[in-house]
Structures are given as C-alpha cells and as structure tokens.
A and B are shown apart, each in its own frame.
Chain A
Amino acid sequence: MSEVAIIGASMTKFGQRDAWVRELLSEAGQACLADAGVSPREVEHLYVSNMASGEFEGQTGVPNMLAHDLACLPAYTKRVDQTSSSGGAGIYAAWQSVASGASDMTLLVGGEKMTHRTTGEATDVIASLTHPVEYKHGVTLPSFAGLTARLYLETFDAPRDSLAKVAVKNHENGTRNPHAQFQKEIDIETAMDSPIVADPLRLYDFCPITDGSAALLFCPVERASEYTDNYAVVSGVAGATDTHVVHERPDPTTMGGVVESSEQAYAMSGHGPEDIDVAELHDMFTILEFLQMEGLDFAPKGEAWKEMDNGTTRIDGELPINTSGGLKSKGHPLGASGVAQGYEIYKQLTGEAGDRQVDADVALACNVGGFGNCVTTVVMEAR
C-alpha cells in the first residue's frame, strides 16, 4: 500500500454566494490544480463530496459535470454522499484510491449550494436523513443538539456559558480566515442573549447555512516531490458508523463513531491524542466540540468544558481547535465542510495558514454526519 501525500488545496469564499453548485465546484477544483501545478489531464480519479445538490437545486450528476468543466476527461468519477460527513468520506475514498494503486492522481472537490432555500427548507433537507419515527415528530439536527446539550450540562454540571465560550473562540478565529462566512467577533453576552433555537441552545450555538466548495489533491508520496517540496502526508484515516436512530444510543453524550474512527486513525498513524498539535472538529453545534474532544481523548469524559476556561483550545493554546473558525464561523456547506477541514490542517502543516498559523507537525480533522451517525477521522503530518 502506497503512502499518500496531499500536494494541493483550495477553498472558495464561504457564505451567501451567487454561484450555483457547478460553479462553486469548478472554482475550487481549478484553484486546487493550479495550487499544485498539476494539469487536468493528469487527474485519474475525480471525487465529488456532496450531500444534496439534487434536493437543493435539482442538479444531479455533479462528478461528470465537474470532470467535463475542468477538462479532466476521461478520469474515473464518483460522488461521495455521507450527509454532513461527505467531505471526510471523500478524503477516505481519495486516500483509498491512491493507497491501493488504482490512481496516481486523485482530485477531491466538496461543495454545496444552500442559501437560496429558506432556513426551514434547508433544515428539512438535512432532517430528511432521519428515520421515519424521528422525522414524523419534526425532529431536526438542531433539536438533537438541544436534547444532548441539556443532558450534558445537567449530567456533568457544566455551566451554560461554557458553550457560549466555544462560539466566542471560533468567531475570533474566523476573523483571521478570509474564506470564513462570518468575519466578526462576538462576546459571551451576545451569545447568551441570542434567540433560543433548541433550548438550552441559542442562535450563536449553531453554524450558519452556507454556500461553498473546497478541494484537495492526492498522489503517492514518491511522486509528490515532482510537484512540490512542501506537502502533507495522510498518516491515518478511518471511518465509523453509529446508530441511525439517535435515541437508540445507550449514552447520548458519547459519540461512538468519533471514538471508533479515531482509535483506528490513531493506530494507523502511530500517533495518539497527545501528539496532535492542531485539530479541526465538526462544531456544527457548540456542544459537538465538547463531545468530539472527549471522543478523541483530548479531554476526559464530561470535562471538555473545563478546557474553555484555561484557554487550551484557543489559537495560542496548548491544543488549538478550529483555527479556521470551525463550521460555526467559517460556515457549513455540507459536502464541502470535511474537505475544508482537510484544507485547514494542510495549510497549518505546510506553514501557509497566514494570520492563523500555529506551530504544527501533526494535525487531526474529525468530520461528522447526521448527529454523529457517520464519522471520518483523519491524521495528517508535515513532510
């Protein structure tokens, strides 16, 4: 099995865009190939991470469309849909294609166009991933977050403002990221006083609805130096699945998919949680940053909230989390988010993260689909 390098990365501006999914994917794909100095004709596999372009805008067949637009023909194409973790699943698929020897050059592009829909419509498209016994009760992903946050706060005696501190931190990081949807800091009072969305969670506990795209380019390590002497290596990658029906989990505050996928990714990489220098976590809701920190063994069970007061996860802390601003501030164009997490840790490892650069040799990204239903964890290293 070949070692797999990432030799190029790109992402579009995230936010409310005039572009549709075809244009968003093309923008990121072209920029990624240019970043690596690779010709479209060299692409052997082209994967598109996308959850719901058919439901959002009536556009299907996006991998074929993108291959044509980028002049990557006759590359093999495939759409990767794993709901919100489509991007992470795309990284896993791209890694497999190169590691197995099936492809020597794989382009992964993730993207979604969402903001032309009302909040209710977009929420319903996302909630369509739920089981019929959940859907008929009007369950949404934010309501799962409210249910879990109440249980977490009461079980572990965590203060409500610990969640607001996650939002404040990630908004602060977002001001350093020119691609982020939100470019403004907020304070704890603003977060705590914002409208209730799913009690006890409020508006600033949630990521926005977003348009955007991101891309990564993969090749065997032994070929990476033909293109660049500054690249990253995928040293560990694994995915895992939890119950489809969320209430069937024995402990709603434990993300089984995070635990399982990270154990495998750590073992494959030869690194443990103590080796991670920077991490991108799937903070679609603030409570998820705590649950993933605990699932990844960055903090003991029920104690991740304590790290907010000692600054561990700040950009200047011991373990910076979501230097990009996270989904919370950067935005969450479903299929793009996991790829954009990969973009961020790649930029951190190659020293190209600009105003948000931290000192990092080993980085991790954790991408979550549904409410922890599907998870991919990736460990990357600088080379």
Chain B
Amino acid sequence: MTMHASRYADGSITYPGHPVGPDGSEPVDTVDLSEYTATVVTWTTSTATPPGVRAPNHLAIVEFDVDGTPVRALGQLTTDDVEIGDEVEPVYCEELREPGAGIREPDSQAWDGYRFRPLE
C-alpha cells in the first residue's frame, strides 16, 4: 500500500494528485509519502462525527518535506497526545471509515489509507 502524491513538471508536489498541477503542468512522477515522516501543522478532535466515522475522531494537517519540497496531507491521528510541530509517521489502516454508512456511494472511492502516529 502506498500514499501517492503527484510531482509536476514545475517541481511542485500535491497530495492528492490532480490531472494538472498548481501552475497547469502535467504530472511527471509519483512520490510515496508513506516512506516519509511529517510535521503536525495543526490538529483537532472531532466529537460530532457522521455515520460510519469513529468517535472521537482525531485529525491533523501534516506537512512532509520531500527533498526540500513541502507537501501537505490531512488524515486521522492515532492519538490526541500530540502538539503542533510534533513529528509523525504514516501508519496503514485497512478501513478509515465504514463504507456505505454515510451518503457517499461505497464503490466511488477507496476507504483505506494512512493514519499519523507521533514518533517517540
């Protein structure tokens, strides 16, 4: 399992990837963010969660440094014992949310992915 981001002709990287990058250039490569660690930009614990979502739901926006290029991602945290600026690593989770419990068509997207775990 991978956490693919797209690298574009101008050198920028986004997660998720898009058909074209921020400046309109096409993707030229992919980067597996699961091989990198990231820094917590901000985080929250959500208690009012929709159907099929764990409660409470710890979430963070994190920033990866891919050879000098910043790439951000949003994802669940494994814990709320975290602070802005902490270093985290991606940890694979087979099912982040129960498919079919919410409004979105289960077959329209993937439901596995990565949570972020603080490094010791």
Spell out A's residues near B (CB within 8 Å): 55, 119-121, 123-125, 127-128, 131-140, 142-143, 146-151, 154, 195-201, 245-248, 252
Contacts and interface: CB of A to CB of B under 8 A. Distances in A.
A248 B84 CA distance: 18
B102 A140 contact: no
Nearest to B49: A138
A52 B55 CA distance: 26
Contacts of A196: 45, 47
Given A138-B76, A248-B72, A143 B44 contact: yes
Contact of A138 (B15, B46, B72, B73): B46
A128 B50 CA distance: 11
21 contacts: A128-B102, A128-B104, A132-B108, A133-B15, A133-B16, A135-B97, A137-B57, A137-B75, A138-B50, A138-B57, A140-B50, A142-B46, A142-B48, A143-B44, A147-B42, A148-B42, A150-B84, A196-B47, A199-B44, A245-B16, A252-B41
Contacts, number: 127
B46 A150 contact: no
B45 A199 contact: yes
A242 to B, nearest CB: 12
Contacts of A125: 103
Contacts of A140: 46, 48-50
B14 interface: yes
A113 to B, nearest CB: 16
Given A133-B16, A138-B53, A143-B57, A128 B103 contact: yes
Which interface residue of A120, A138, A146, A151 has the most chain B CB atoms within 10 A?
A: A138
A252 B74 contact: no
B84 A198 contact: no
B73 A136 contact: no
B42 A55 contact: no
Contacts of A134: 74
A237 B51 CA distance: 38
Contacts of B49: 120, 123, 138, 140
B113 A133 contact: yes
Nearest to A52: B103
Given A128-B103, A150-B42, A136 B48 contact: no
A201 B61 CA distance: 17
Given A123-B50, A137-B75, A151-B41, 13 more contacts: A120-B48, A127-B102, A132-B108, A135-B102, A136-B113, A137-B74, A138-B53, A138-B59, A140-B46, A143-B44, A146-B59, A199-B44, A199-B80
A143 B60 CA distance: 10
Contact of A246 (B14, B16, B74): B74
Which interface residue of B45, B49, B75, B104 has the most chain A CB atoms within 10 A?
A: B49
Given A125-B103, A247-B61, A137 B113 contact: yes
B74 A197 contact: no
Nearest to A154: B84
B96 interface: yes
B43 interface: yes
B48 to A, nearest CB: 5
Pick the 7 closest A-B CB pairs, nearest first: A146-B44, A138-B53, A124-B50, A132-B109, A151-B42, A143-B46, A247-B74
B44 A147 contact: yes
Contacts of A127: 50, 102
Contacts of A246: 74
Nearest to B53: A138
A205 to B, nearest CB: 12
B46 A198 contact: yes
A343 B80 CA distance: 43
Nearest to A195: B47
